[in-house]
Amino acid sequence: MTKAVYEEEMDIPIEENSVEKVETKAKRAEQADIGNLPGVGPATAEKLRESGYDTVMSIAVATPGLLVDASGVSETVARKMINAAREVLDMGFESGLDVLQKRQRVNKITTGSKAFDDLMGGGFETGSITECFGEFGSGKTQIGHILAVNVLTDNPEAVAIYIDTENTFRPERITQLAEGRGSDPEDILRRIKVARAYNSDHQLLLADKVEDLISKDGMNVKLVVVDSLTAHFRAEFIGRGTLAERQQKLNKHMHSLLKLADLHNVCVYVTNQVMAKPDQFFGDPTQAIGGHIVAHASTFRVYLRKGKKGSRVAKLIDSPNLVEGECNFMVETEGLKDL
Ligand code: GTP
Ligand code: MG
């Protein structure tokens, strides 16, 4: 089915260069049914859905090999499916003006520290993935709690999702932080939806479920925290032989998070550990887990470390539009504070 026919069937009027156009594209991506793609009969559709390819978008961003594995179709058919999915979603070029209009949807979530907000260009952005990596106790989990309280305080209708893989979400801490912001702790806690992920499969499943919370249940999700992004992957895939498999799975996870951020204008905040880099003699001898897959999928990357007198140092490593730099802040009972 061509894009034009598809639009006609879905009865979606597309206005050039409008914010609605961007949002309509997102709607179309949600509503598109994989069963309508060429080469996808009911049996293939079922197999694809079972393997997690339940939206046209998930097929559009897949590789032929993954679809062959998931559904048993030939590689030629898989390529056709991917091309058709891309056509339906109009994944070609958009004008700079479209992108600018999309950027105007972006909100910034304050960290509570002016220095940290300034470093991030005003706060943590919606529509993107921000990764904080650093050693234990560097403040990654604290930032997750703080962003949740701040986004919910500033957006009275919003909901925050917390995918907790290490059992470190603490409602008591949320209460303290909410009081620090002068918000009603019960109201804030009610609007944080916490799920404990027991392994990496569960973690992927939970990330996909967020999509349902938004599209089916109509939740106004503004923030998704994944703390920690990589701990299960690190524990489950041990040894060099498993690296490719781990990276493939992590890639799938990052794509579904990216999709959430992009289609629904959600701020995705992920935390990541570091490991010793044995061959590094100069500079910082640590590197983030997850390698290029995580690094490339994250729009903003922040390296956290402990500073002098109990302070924390955040260093912006990677950003499409901000100057790289550093700032200092304190983690306090009421939230983040400037030095
Ligand atoms: P890992 O998950 O172990 O890798 O560490 P992390 O980077 O997630 O560290 P986390 O965010 O848990 O930081 C813990 C640090 O935050 C503690 O060492 C304290 O310094 C600080 N902290 C946590 N809670 C409070 C609090 O209620 N008050 C104050 N003042 N500091 C706190
Ligand atoms: Mg932590």
Q: Please provide residue 311's backbone torsions phi and psi, each rounded to the nearest 5 degrees.
A: -80, 170
User: Do 83 and 111 share a domain, yes or no?
Assistant: no
Mean pLDDT of the region 181-208:
97
User: Do 132 and 224 share a domain, yes or no?
Assistant: yes
Parallel, antiparallel, or unpaired for β 124-125 and 286-288? unpaired
Number of compact structural domains in the chain: 2
Nearest ligand to the C-alpha atom of residue 136:
1
Instruction: Evaluate whether 173 touches 149 at the Cβ level (below 8 Å).
Output: no
Answer with the one of 30, 60, 89 that is the final residue of a domain.
89
Q: What is the pLDDT of residue 17?
A: 40
User: Do 28 and 60 share a domain, yes or no?
Assistant: yes
Check pocket membership of 333 for ligand 1, CB cut-off 6 A: yes
- Lowest-confidence pick of 154-163, 206-215, 263-272, 279-288: 279-288
Parallel, antiparallel, or unpaired for β 312-318 and 300-306? antiparallel
Amino acid at site 233 = F
Q: If you take atom 23 of ligand 1, which residue's CA is the nearest one?
A: 142
Which residue matches tokens 């709607």?
27
Instruction: Evaluate whether 289 touches 301 at the Cβ level (below 8 Å).
Output: no
pLDDT digits (tens, 9 = 90+) for 203-234: 999 999 999 999 999 999 999 999 999 999 99
User: Do 32 and 152 share a domain, yes or no?
Assistant: no
User: Do 59 and 188 share a domain, yes or no?
Assistant: no
5 pLDDT more than 60: no
User: Do 271 and 195 share a domain, yes or no?
Assistant: yes
> In this structure, is residue 329 part of a structural domain?
yes
pLDDT digits (tens, 9 = 90+) for 112-163: 999 999 999 999 999 999 999 999 999 999 999 999 999 999 999 999 999 9
Alpha carbon dihedral 315, 317, 318, 322, in 10-degree steps, equals: 50
61 pLDDT more than 90: no
- List the CATH number of the domain containing 36: 1.10.150.20
> In this structure, is residue 308 part of a structural domain?
yes
User: Do 253 and 315 share a domain, yes or no?
Assistant: yes
Range of the domain at 136: 106-338
Residue 304 in tokens: 């956290």
DSSP bridge pairs for 192: 160
> In this structure, is residue 8 part of a structural domain?
no
Q: What is the pLDDT of residue 75?
A: 93
Q: If you take atom 2 of ligand 1, which residue's CA is the nearest one?
A: 136
pLDDT-derived band at 242 (thresholds 50, 70, 90) equals confident
Distances in Å between the Cα of 80 and the Cα atoms of 62, 64, 111, 227 are: 12, 9, 45, 37
Check pocket membership of 265 for ligand 1, CB cut-off 6 A: no
pLDDT digits (tens, 9 = 90+) for 91-101: 677 889 888 88
Please give the residue that has the higher pLDDT: either 271 or 12: 271
User: What distance in angstroms lies between residue 219's CA and the mean position of ligand 2's atoms?
Assistant: 26
Check pocket membership of 142 for ligand 1, CB cut-off 6 A: yes
Q: What is the pLDDT of residue 241?
A: 83
Q: Write down the pTM of the prediction.
A: 0.79
Answer with the one of 89, 118, 144 that is the final residue of a domain.
89
User: Do 174 and 232 share a domain, yes or no?
Assistant: yes
> In this structure, is residue 12 part of a structural domain?
no
User: What distance in angstroms lies between residue 168's CA and the mean position of ligand 2's atoms?
Assistant: 6
> In this structure, is residue 147 part of a structural domain?
yes
Answer with the one of 39, 64, 89 that is the final residue of a domain.
89
Three-class HEC string of 22-82 = HHHHHHHHHHCCHHHCCCCCHHHHHHHHHCCCCCHHHHHCCCHHHHHHHHCCCHHHHHHHH
Residue 189 in tokens: 């806690």
Q: What is the pLDDT of residue 8?
A: 43
296 pLDDT more than 60: yes
> In this structure, is residue 94 part of a structural domain?
no
Check pocket membership of 136 for ligand 1, CB cut-off 6 A: yes
Mean pLDDT of the region 258-271:
94
User: Do 127 and 272 share a domain, yes or no?
Assistant: yes
Q: If you take atom 28 of ligand 1, which residue's CA is the nearest one?
A: 333
> In this structure, is residue 125 part of a structural domain?
yes
Residue 26 sits at the vertex; the CA angle it makes with 23 and 29, to the nearest 5 degrees, is 155
- Lowest-confidence pick of 12-26, 56-70, 157-171: 12-26
pLDDT-derived band at 239 (thresholds 50, 70, 90) equals confident
The b-or-e profile of 25-38 (16+ CB within 10 A means b, else e) is bbebbbebebeebe
Instruction: Evaluate whether 152 touches 192 at the Cβ level (below 8 Å).
Output: yes
Check pocket membership of 172 for ligand 1, CB cut-off 6 A: no
User: Do 57 and 136 share a domain, yes or no?
Assistant: no
Distance CA 314, CA 301 (A): 10
User: Do 296 and 170 share a domain, yes or no?
Assistant: yes
185 pLDDT more than 70: yes
> In this structure, is residue 15 part of a structural domain?
no
Residue 115 in tokens: 């220095």
- List the CATH number of the domain containing 156: 3.40.50.300
Check pocket membership of 165 for ligand 1, CB cut-off 6 A: no
Going by C-beta distance under 8 Å and a sequence separation of 6 or more, which residues neighbour residue 9? Answer: 1
Residue 98 in tokens: 């479209």
Which run of H or E residues covers position 313? strand 312-318
Check pocket membership of 230 for ligand 1, CB cut-off 6 A: no
Q: If you take atom 26 of ligand 1, which residue's CA is the nearest one?
A: 333
User: Do 67 and 137 share a domain, yes or no?
Assistant: no
Q: What is the pLDDT of residue 13?
A: 41
